[in-house]
Chain A
Amino acid sequence: MSLAKPAMRGLLGKRLRFHLPIAFALSLVAAAAFKYGVTEPRKQAYADFYKQYDATKEFNNMREAGIFQSVRPTGE
């Protein structure tokens, strides 16, 4: 029974040469996925919201609902 001599050296280097490119690639993919899946849609949502936003109208709605202490609804 004569087996082949196993690899005695360069084990870490071999592992790194295999795993590091994969690690970098996956990290980049994760970052890109988060950017285009989360942050870009979120920025768009905020932009769309404020395009049609009338601050005075919303303020008056809130005032009539009675949530403020400084300005009470117009009836009182």
Chain B
Amino acid sequence: MCMLHLTTGRVGCLLSKQVVVALTSSGARMSSHGHHEVSDSVDMSQPMYWDRLDTPLPDRPWKDVLDSTDKSLKQKEKGPWTALSKEEKIALYRLKFNHTYPEMKRPSHEWKTVIGGMFIFFGITGLVVFWQGHYVYPPQPHTFGEEWQAKQVQRMLDMQINPIEGFSAQWDYKNKQWK
């Protein structure tokens, strides 16, 4: 169960656009090729930080390279928390986390891109369909013509198709017209 949680967290990180790759002080950069190909690859063997709505507690805190003021604050955190001021508590939160939940959930302008892209593809598809109707389709069967369709309707009325609640029920047989 714990393993599953870890893997979903890491896989989820790859899918999330809001993953932040912070360099740790131990700085394990991939240099297996020796030359600068993909310079900012993530070292997946180290604990990762993530901002995710569904997995609230990442494997490591946001800031783990602490300067002296941060270090002294972390020392104070080891004592009773009632001794901490409001600003100190907020500072400790900001050391541990990058975005708050409201900040993570902030709306973006992405929907305009999505809707715009959708309409562009509708348009392209419409052009393709039109070209296809002109250049690809064979001639329509003769049964689609006006005359044939009229003869078909007349035959259906003669056979009294659905005379109670359906087709022929809409036809006035006495006056020979639709009701």
Q: Which of B135-168 contact A (CB under 8 A)?
A: 155, 158-160, 163-165
Residue numbers in A under 8 Å from B158 (CB-CB): 62, 65-67
> Is the contact region of chain A dominated by helix, strand, or loop, or is it mixed?
helix
Min CB gap B142→A, angstroms:
21
> Is the contact region of chain B dominated by helix, strand, or loop, or is it mixed?
loop
Contact B165 A42 (CB under 8 A): yes
Residue numbers in B under 8 Å from A7 (CB-CB): none
Contact B164 A46 (CB under 8 A): yes
With CB as the reference atom, state the residue of chain A lying closest to B165.
A45
Residue numbers in B under 8 Å from A42 (CB-CB): 165
Residues of A within 8 A of B (CB-CB), count: 9
Given contacts A49-B163, A58-B160, A62-B158, 12 further A-B contacts (CB under 8 A): A42-B165, A45-B164, A45-B165, A49-B164, A62-B159, A62-B160, A65-B158, A65-B159, A66-B158, A67-B155, A67-B158, A67-B159
Pick 11 A–B contacts, CB within 8 A, sort by A: A45-B165, A46-B164, A49-B163, A49-B164, A58-B160, A62-B158, A65-B158, A65-B159, A66-B158, A67-B155, A67-B158
Q: Which 6 pairs from chain A and chain B are nearest by CB? A: A65-B158, A49-B164, A67-B158, A67-B159, A45-B164, A46-B164
A residues in contact (CB < 8 Å) with B: 42, 45-46, 49, 58, 62, 65-67
